[in-house]
Structure 1
Amino acid sequence: MASSSRTDASGVTRKMIRLAVAVIVVLVLYTGGWFYAASWVKTTLDRELAASEQGLHSASCSNLDVRGFPFRIGLFCDSVAFDDRATGLSATFGALRSAAQVYRPGHAVLELDGPAQVRITPDLVFDADWDLLHASATAWIDGLNRASVAYDGLKGRLNVPSEGVSVGIAATHGEKHVRQSGDALDVAASFDALSLDLGDSVLPPLDVAVDMTIADAARWISAEGPPADAPRGASAELRRLSLDLGDGKVMALSGPLKVGDDGYLSGTLDLDIAGISVWRDRISEAFPEIAETAARVAQAIEGLSKGNDRAVVKLKVEDGTVYLGLFPIAFIPPF
């Protein structure tokens, strides 16, 4: 009986040893595979980034490193820069930290530090900084499927000296989302407490949100990329563009739009506005040069609403000119 017990115990011990050895082998192979993959990624990126310096489209990632063992793999850079010599676009950013799960490499998250500067020839410069910016993306070899960006404490300034433009921008929080939806592209964005400093006037903070679908534009975020003349020729359904001053004073637009081959916008929009007099006063204070026009438009809308401070009216956009009834009230420059 004792002999049988010793035999059984010996058999269990051998199984445990085999299991332990198998686990160790798997761990060793996994560890070797992870570090081999990390080394391959770093070497490949270093080579591609160095080669890009000789072309029209270059990118750099200072002190590139690959980290995340054991369950993640991600890129880390002290700073990031892009330069598109063909279009005259260049940009610099602070540190980049990214990560993807080993078992789900097509889904990545990242954080990007400021400050940032975007420059477009000849003299457009946008400087920005933020408290926190994080993003996520789902992609495969054919490009992005969806992507999101969220940030807090954004502050920036756009300067175009040749046009006499200098605009300061600030927002407590903002988000942007894009995703493929069949052949279409869904786009949504929001800004909390967005304020604009126009130099001689400052627009009071307001919340802005936009939600739209662009037809036949899914390929814009694929490996194919958008056409050179995008968004010209594109059609979109504007589900909602809202401007919110608080206390129920909201202006919202919705309807179909199309950008012509010449870049001018056309379409039919529903305008739902609450607080007509408040919007008139805010626009007049921020843009004194159009105060008279703002007053006339507000009066026309109030007439259509039979004196109420809220109205729903139709706007028609033809080749960039916005009409309320038969009267032009605004002009949208070409894209």
Structure 2
Amino acid sequence: MTAGLDCQLTDSETSTMPSSTADNIRKPSRAPLIIGGLIVLAALLYTAGWYFLANQLESRVATNIAAFKQQGIDAICENATASGYPVRVGLDCSRVGWVDQAKGISITAGSLRSAARIYDPLQIASSVEGPATVSVPGVPPLDVKWHSLATSIRLDKPLPKHLSIEGSNVMVNEREKPGDPAALAVMQTGKLQFDASEPQMDIALAFDRLKFADNVVFNRPLPELTGAAEVQLANGFALLGKPGRDLSVLRGQTGTLRKVDVAFQDGSGISISGPFSVADDGRVSGDFKVTLRDPEGVAKVMQAIFPEADNTISTVVQAMAFVPKDESGAPTLPITVKNGKMSVGFISIGRLPAL
């Protein structure tokens, strides 16, 4: 009897004693500390890498500026500082500029801010503060102001794949007439874009409410304009090696006017599209479709610009009543150009000047 009681007590005491397994379960885990340490280490390595890239960027800018200076070009990026930590890397300058004394080109502006995402360093976005001073041959010195001016570029070799420039509330004045309230030109919004896939290049332009001062263009008063253009050049890369700064650089090019459209304030407008080529002597050839939205409205605008051609413009508008219409009901005229000579069917209507 006593032996049985002792056995029961021993079993009971044994069942209440903590086991070594239970002790192990209750010990605090070291996993959170290890994970936390790894996170801190990764952050330190990332930070060190970012500052290394930032230092390389600042050094590269200084090297490039020095290289341009040896070529006689004063490239300006004052107080160049890397920025964008932690998810971007970019460059800030308190003032930027480009001065080429040999070519007589000088452009200076305010601060520059540019940045690229760490995971996509070839796509760079930037913004520039105004105003800017511009001097180019054949044009009076200009002051340019804007509300916003932004660029986007996709780097690639040998040349960028994509470049766009977009601005809003742009105003251009002659620098020598700072007190003149009439600006040479104002524009509400505008965008210029290049997309390249060697050797092809696509160029797109769009602007809204562009107004030139009277007699600035063609020495004639022009109405407020809104427009867009999309041009594809089959060998656009060849333009980059040409020294010319006028339309003569297009000699030897072929391409397509996907859309060239100009609209006037009353809703009327002109649209041109079609393939073209430019011979080595600058003569243009192509097959174009010219569409007039509200021909009477277009005639009024053109007669105000070219009053000496009043009768000719009226005759053309009357003839548009008999030409085919597009899906919107606007008359569309097919025009063939061969070596600069324009014709509608077998009727010659004039000659384009050589580019």
TM exceeds 0.5? yes
Deviation per residue, 1:225-257 (Å, 9 max, x gap):
444453221111001111122565231100112
CA root-mean-square deviation:
3.0
- Pairing 1:108–2:124 present: yes
Residue ranges of structure 2 left out of the alignment (5+ in a row): 1-17, 176-181
- Aligned match of 1:12: 29
CA 1:53–1:293: 2 relative to 1, 3 Å = farther
- 183-192 or 286-295, which deviates more: 286-295
Which aligned pairs between 1:35-184 and structure 2 lie closer than 5 A?
Answer: 35-123=51-139, 125-157=141-173, 168-181=184-197, 183-184=199-200
Contact 2:266 2:297 in 1 (8 A): no
Contact 2:284 2:352 in 1 (8 A): no
* 3-state DSSP of counterpart to 2:331: strand
- Aligned match of 1:163: none
CA distance in 2, matches of 1:292, 1:212: 33
CA distance in 2, matches of 1:271, 1:158: 36
The alignment-based identity, stated in percent, is 25
- 111-120 or 94-103, which deviates more: 111-120
Aligned AA for 2:257?
Answer: L
* Corresponding residue to 2:331 among 301, 307, 311: 311
Aligned AA for 1:94?
Answer: G
Structure 1 position 52, deviation (Å): 1.5
Which aligned pairs between 1:200-211 and structure 2 lie closer than 5 A?
Answer: 202-211=221-230
Aligned AA for 2:29?
Answer: V
Structure 1 position 213, deviation (Å): 1.0
CA distance in 1, matches of 2:278, 2:104: 24
- 24-33 or 121-130, which deviates more: 121-130
Contact 1:95 1:112 in 2 (8 A): yes
Structure 1 position 330, deviation (Å): 6.4
CA distance in 2, matches of 1:215, 1:9: 74
Structure 1 position 318, deviation (Å): 4.3
Residue ranges of structure 1 left out of the alignment (5+ in a row): 160-165
Deviation per residue, 1:125-148 (Å, 9 max, x gap):
454221111121111343211122
Contact 1:167 1:198 in 2 (8 A): no
- Aligned match of 2:234: 215
CA distance in 1, matches of 2:93, 2:302: 44
CA distance in 2, matches of 1:8, 1:231: 80
TM-score for the superposition, normalised by structure 2? 0.79
CA 1:250–1:3: 2 relative to 1, 3 Å = farther
- Aligned match of 2:10: none
Deviation per residue, 1:301-327 (Å, 9 max, x gap):
345469xx9421122334455445634
- Aligned match of 2:204: 188
Contact 1:293 1:329 in 2 (8 A): no
Structure 1 position 209, deviation (Å): 0.8
CA 1:6–1:193: 2 relative to 1, 3 Å = farther
CA 1:328–1:93: 2 relative to 1, 3 Å = farther
Structure 1 position 2, deviation (Å): 6.3
- 242-251 or 145-154, which deviates more: 242-251
Aligned AA for 1:258?
Answer: S
CA distance in 1, matches of 2:159, 2:103: 22
Structure 1 position 107, deviation (Å): 0.7
Contact 2:224 2:265 in 1 (8 A): no
* 3-state DSSP of counterpart to 1:254: strand
Structure 1 position 93, deviation (Å): 2.2
Deviation per residue, 1:264-309 (Å, 9 max, x gap):
4332211011221211111121333444443343344345469xx9
CA 1:305–1:47: 2 relative to 1, 3 Å = closer
The structure with the largest alpha-carbon Rg is: 2
* 3-state DSSP of counterpart to 1:53: helix
- Pairing 1:279–2:298 present: yes
Structure 1 position 16, deviation (Å): 2.0
* 3-state DSSP of counterpart to 2:29: helix
* 3-state DSSP of counterpart to 1:12: coil
- Aligned match of 2:287: 268
Aligned AA for 1:148?
Answer: S
CA 1:231–1:92: 2 relative to 1, 3 Å = farther
